[in-house]
Amino acid sequence: MEELPAGVELPAGRDQLAALFTQLAPEQAGAIATMMTRNNADSNRWAVDLLAVEPEDRVLEIGAGPGMGIELLAARTTAGHVAGIDVSAAMVEHARARDADLVRTGRAEILVAPAERIPFPDGAFTKALAVHVAQFWPTPEPALREIRRVLAEGGNVVLATRAYRETAGPPNAASFGWTRAQVDAISAAMRAVGFREVNTRTAENSAEGLIAVLGTR
Ligand SMILES: C[S@@+](CC[C@H](N)C(=O)[O-])C[C@H]1O[C@@H](n2cnc3c(N)ncnc32)[C@H](O)[C@@H]1O
């Protein structure tokens, strides 16, 4: 399902991949941004639909990558605002370039920051989204606590990624997808930090299975 650009090899472990994101060189980030844009379009649209964004929402995207989600969110928050964060400075550059008009007009801002230390005040957002990101959090509680902190009362979060699929050959996006046990673990962690109405959604097509965990502050 996943074509990797020339010169990019995914490491075998989630932790190594998480570390790699923080150190992406500009040319690696460019190749990976192109790959994400191609492979993650459907899953980003699905996740944004699940978030049920309203025009006046203030939405935070965590792990915004090349900025595709920001663009989809901004199209819906016509009277609101979108903020994106990502640990990779090189990836943030790509997102800012892709979403230059949105950034220039103040409809969106994109910052280098980790999910574990979100640079916004308590209750700043009505909705939060992370697509293909939460599976790289070895201990998800610090990020989940931060997401809950920056959500207003009644605000919703969608964490979405691929379902795990065993595939032959080198690691690819599906090999980093969530197993049922990991979905149960992140759901439990969300409840433990205080999210309520935690529930999951799935979608399947011939290329991939998708899983999302939803919660409300
Ligand atoms: C697989 S990419 C997905 C990007 C985008 N959401 C998409 O669907 O195309 C994961 C992104 O999350 C970022 N990321 C990973 N862990 C993060 C963390 N703890 N805080 C913020 N960003 C993180 C990475 O730098 C990378 O850009």
The reported pLDDT for the residue numbered 12 is 66
The reported pLDDT for the residue numbered 3 is 54
Residue from 34, 50, 118, 133 whose mutation best tests the ligand 1 pocket (most atoms within 8 A of CB) = 133
Question: Which of these CATH numbers, 3.40.50.150, 2.60.40.10, 3.40.1190.10, 3.50.50.60, describes 14-216?
Answer: 3.40.50.150
Query: Does residue 214 sit in helix, strand or coil?
Result: strand
Residue 217 has which token pair? 């502050």
pTM above 0.75, yes or no: yes
Kindly state if the Cβ of 144 falls inside 6 Å of ligand 1: no
Q: Rounded to a whole number, what is the distance in angstroms from the first to the last CA of the chain?
A: 35
- Distance CA(160)–CA(166), nearest Å, equals 19
The reported pLDDT for the residue numbered 169 is 64
The reported pLDDT for the residue numbered 80 is 98
Q: Which amino acid is at 14?
A: R
Report the DSSP pairing between strands 151-162 and 125-131.
parallel
The reported pLDDT for the residue numbered 63 is 97
Q: Where are the domains of the chain?
A: 14-216
The reported pLDDT for the residue numbered 83 is 98
Q: Which amino acid is at 190?
A: M
The reported pLDDT for the residue numbered 1 is 38
The reported pLDDT for the residue numbered 20 is 76
86 Cα–ligand 1 center, Å: 6
User: Tens digit of pLDDT per residue, the chain (217 long)?
Assistant: 345 555 566 666 767 777 777 888 888 888 888 888 889 999 999 999 999 999 999 999 999 999 999 999 999 999 999 999 999 999 999 999 999 999 999 999 999 999 999 999 999 999 999 999 999 898 999 999 999 999 999 999 999 999 987 766 666 667 778 999 999 999 999 999 999 999 999 998 767 899 999 999 9
The reported pLDDT for the residue numbered 19 is 73
Kindly state if the Cβ of 214 falls inside 6 Å of ligand 1: no
The reported pLDDT for the residue numbered 211 is 96
Residue from 87, 94, 175 whose mutation best tests the ligand 1 pocket (most atoms within 8 A of CB) = 87
